[in-house]
Every structure is written in C-alpha cells, then in structure tokens.
Amino acid sequence: MKIQKIQAYAVSIPLETTYWVSNEIIDRCSQIIVQVLTDEGVTGVATLHGRSMPTVLQVVEQLSGYLAGMDALAHEAIWAKVFGLTTISPDAARASGAPSYLGADKRPALLAAMAGIDIALWDIKGKAVSLPVWRLLGGDRTSIRAYVTGGYYQVDRDLFDIGPEMAGYVSQGFNGVKMKVGGLSLPADVARVKAVRDAVGPSTMLMVDANCAYTLEQAIEAIRAFEPYDVYWFEEPLHWYDSVRAMGKLAQYTHVALASGESEQHSWACRDLIDLGAIRYMEFDATRSGGVTEWLRVAAYAQLHGVSMATHHDPHIHGHLAAAVPNGACVEVFLDEKRDPLWKMLFRERAQLRDGQLHLSDLPGFGFDIDWDVVKRFHI
Ligand SMILES: [Mg+2]
C-alpha cells in the first residue's frame, strides 16, 4: 500500500469569550486535519494542533511529494526519513530530492506535520486490518480515566468564582479536574485553588497547571502554598528556559507529583525530563510533535522509570495510546463548549465520554470521522 498524497486543512473558530493562562491568551479554537491517501483507497486521518498553522500546512504540502510512493505501513521508515530532514546537509538534500528549505526555524512545524502524518499512518494501519489502534497496540482496555481541564482565567467572569464550573464537572461523573494557576499574585491564586477544593470536595483529584509561570524560587513558594489543598499534580511549574534541571530541584521541596512534557518536541527531551526533572506524569503530546511513533518511545522510556503517561488534548487520539500502554494513566478532556467548540462540532463519530471515562469503540483506526461540512465552514 503506497502513499499517493498528503493534504492538510486548518480550521479555526473565534471563541465567544477570551481565556488566558499564566502567559498566553486563548481566543480561538483551532485544529489541523491531515489526510494521507493511498493507492489502495484507504485514507488515514489525523488531527494535530502544532504551530504555526500556516507553516505546518506549507510543510505538509512539501512532504507530500517527498513521501509519495513510500509504503504506508512503514511508519518507522517514514518517521526516520522526515526526521532526517532536521539534520540533512544541503548537498544531500539536493541529491535526495528533499523539500527545498526546512531549516531550524521550521523544525517545530516539521515535527508537527510529522505528527499528523504519523497519526494518519497508524489510522491507515488500523483500517487496513480492521482493528482499532488501541487493539493494534496490544491493549485490552476499552476505556480510560478522563479528567476535565477548566478553571481558566476568563474575561467574562469573576476570577475567583470558578468553584461552580469545577463542581459541575464532578457532578457529571468526573473524579479529576485541572485548573490554571500562575496568572495572578500567589495569594490570589491560592484563593482560587481553595475555592475549587471547597467546591469539588475532598475526594476529587485536583491538578494545577502553571503553564511555565514560575522561577524555581517562586515555584517552591507556590507549591508549598497550594499543598494544603491536596494538589494531585503540579504541571509545568517552571519558566520554559529552565524547566528540566530546576524541575529536579523542585521535586526535592514537595511531595506533590510533578507533571510536564506537553511542550517537548521529541523523545530525547522527554528522556531528560524523566532523568533530570524527576517528573511523575509525562504529558508528551503526539498531536503536537512526532506522532504515535514518538509517543510510544516516550511511553516505553517512562515505563522503565516508573513514570505514568497523562495525555494532553485530543483524547480521540491519545485515548487509544494511553489505554494500550501499561503506564497509561488518564486523558485530558475539555467540557466547556465555549472553550473547546470543536470537540462537539468537528466529528460525526469519535470516542465517547461517560461516567468519568473515555470509551473507545471497535471501529478501525482511531475510530473517528470528521464532519467535513464543519471543516468547509471554518476553514482558514
Ligand atoms: Mg498544560
């Protein structure tokens, strides 16, 4: 089965309200959809959310010609060929017909494009043998625990009135919720964490996500202030430039588990986060960088080091992976339709949320079906 062509479409919806995390504003909900078409009529589909969107689309187009004719089941060979573009010399690139310019500035977009292509290849593999990906990977779990991310800073509501939102998720059957911290002064964030703990009760897992808000000193102070509210994990506490070795230091100051990995681009960085960062939850995002093939390498390394896989975004894809591996802990989901309208709109068919679990089906591949009318409507 040979790759014929690869195409990508970007969808983006302006949100009704503006959300922010510690250092970034969220005012749109976006996805890129990648299709890998084969000569046997099997088409693999993926969603990805790498950045920047225009560059990812451009790179996918360049890779389409470069990968055409390759065996669509040869995911390792295809991965190696694409990843090789990050180190190829101009001379070798010319000789091999590699895309014209994929220099260092395009690396994140290249790895995002590869994420989409690789996920679509695993979808093809499942469709080719009529098996869902979770089963293809050897799993026997058909569901996995889901936790709900909410508790954003929001322009249209009182910054401290987030208890009702979070309690609402618990009343829908979820026993884990995650909220944002790091965007206000520490006393103000502590008040928000307290409000959520009071609202969700003592038996709900409460995670806090700082989105890289703190220096090491600030993070030590913050986690000590949050600890009385029984925080289950502390996610991406440290500024982007010192988020690995300083994380290992931070671990010496708290009993709270540390989580990170959604910002990493490859398995080598994830290895360092496990070796030097002392994290207990790895959140490498297969839909942002590297795809299923790279995610599985990260998961195997994490397994050897007693680290659990907690996934980031796109549960319709990550659910298959987390359910299949022995150290798959949970998937992240978004229930606020104002924050994530695409989860409700983009699919005709996908994994379902019920009783605090993501339930996977027996449909082949990733078992989702894109609503192309929605893609047409919000195409950019
Ligand atoms: Mg996060």
Quick: pLDDT tens for 170-204.
Answer: 999 999 999 999 999 999 999 999 999 999 999 99
Last residue of a domain, one of 113, 130, 147: 130
Give me the chain's average pLDDT, please. Answer: 97
Position 380 in a domain? no
Per-residue pLDDT reduced to its tens digit, 322-342: 999 999 999 999 999 999 999
Distance 43 CA to ligand 1 centre (A): 31
Catalytic residue among 312, 313, 316, 320: 312
Last residue of a domain, one of 75, 108, 130: 130
Position 376 in a domain? no
Range list of β-strands (E), 200-300? 205-209, 231-235, 257-260, 281-282
Distance 101 CA to ligand 1 centre (A): 32
Per-residue pLDDT reduced to its tens digit, 205-233: 999 999 999 999 999 999 999 999 999 99
| Percentage of the residues of the chain whose pLDDT score is greater than 70 | 100
pLDDT band at 151; cut points 50, 70, 90:
very high
Looking at the structure, do residues 149 and 239 belong to the same domain, yes or no?
yes
- Exposure of 168 in the CB half-sphere (CA atoms within 13 A): 11
Write the single-letter amino acid at 365: G
**CATH number for the domain harbouring residue 75:** 3.30.390.10
Per-residue pLDDT reduced to its tens digit, 240-255: 999 999 999 999 999 9
Angle at which helices 163-171 and 186-200 pack, to 10 degrees? 30
How many distinct structural domains can be found in the chain? 2
Phi, psi (degrees; rounded to nearest 5) at 295:
-60, -40
Position 378 in a domain? no
347: number of Cβ within 10 Å: 16
- DSSP H or E run through 32: strand 24-38
Distance 124 CA to ligand 1 centre (A): 29
Q: Would residue 312 show up in a list of annotated catalytic residues for this protein? A: yes
The one-character DSSP state at 266 is S
**% helix / strand / coil in the chain, to the nearest 5?**
40, 25, 35
Q: Is 331 exposed, middle or buried (0-12, 13-18, 19+ CB in 10 A)?
A: buried
Domain that holds residue 59: 3-130
Looking at the structure, do residues 146 and 95 belong to the same domain, yes or no?
no
Distance 368 CA to ligand 1 centre (A): 24
Sign of CA dihedral 288, 289, 290, 295: negative
Does the pTM exceed 0.85?
yes
What average pLDDT does the segment 56-70 reach? 97
Last residue of a domain, one of 80, 113, 130: 130
Distance 81 CA to ligand 1 centre (A): 30
Distance 77 CA to ligand 1 centre (A): 31
Q: How far apart are CA 351 and CA 357, in angstroms?
A: 10
Position 379 in a domain? no
Distance 332 CA to ligand 1 centre (A): 9
Residue 278 near residue 253, CB atoms below 8 Å:
no
Phi, psi (degrees; rounded to nearest 5) at 329:
-100, -45
Looking at the structure, do residues 207 and 78 belong to the same domain, yes or no?
no
Looking at the structure, do residues 178 and 315 belong to the same domain, yes or no?
yes
Write the single-letter amino acid at 72: A
The one-character DSSP state at 286 is T
Position 352 in a domain? yes
Looking at the structure, do residues 32 and 99 belong to the same domain, yes or no?
yes
Distance 202 CA to ligand 1 centre (A): 23
Looking at the structure, do residues 35 and 121 belong to the same domain, yes or no?
yes
Looking at the structure, do residues 198 and 328 belong to the same domain, yes or no?
yes
Q: Would residue 180 show up in a list of annotated catalytic residues for this protein? A: yes
- Exposure of 306 in the CB half-sphere (CA atoms within 13 A): 5
Of 52-56, 101-105, 242-246, 331-335, give the lowest mean pLDDT range. Answer: 101-105
Looking at the structure, do residues 47 and 23 belong to the same domain, yes or no?
yes
Looking at the structure, do residues 53 and 151 belong to the same domain, yes or no?
no
Catalytic residue among 81, 106, 127, 180: 180
Looking at the structure, do residues 16 and 89 belong to the same domain, yes or no?
yes
- Given a cut of 90, whether residue 103 has pLDDT beyond it is no
Residue 236 near residue 259, CB atoms below 8 Å:
yes
Looking at the structure, do residues 147 and 111 belong to the same domain, yes or no?
no
Distance 211 CA to ligand 1 centre (A): 6
**CATH number for the domain harbouring residue 184:** 3.20.20.120
Looking at the structure, do residues 93 and 146 belong to the same domain, yes or no?
no
Nearest to 162 by CA among 133, 134, 194, 195: 195
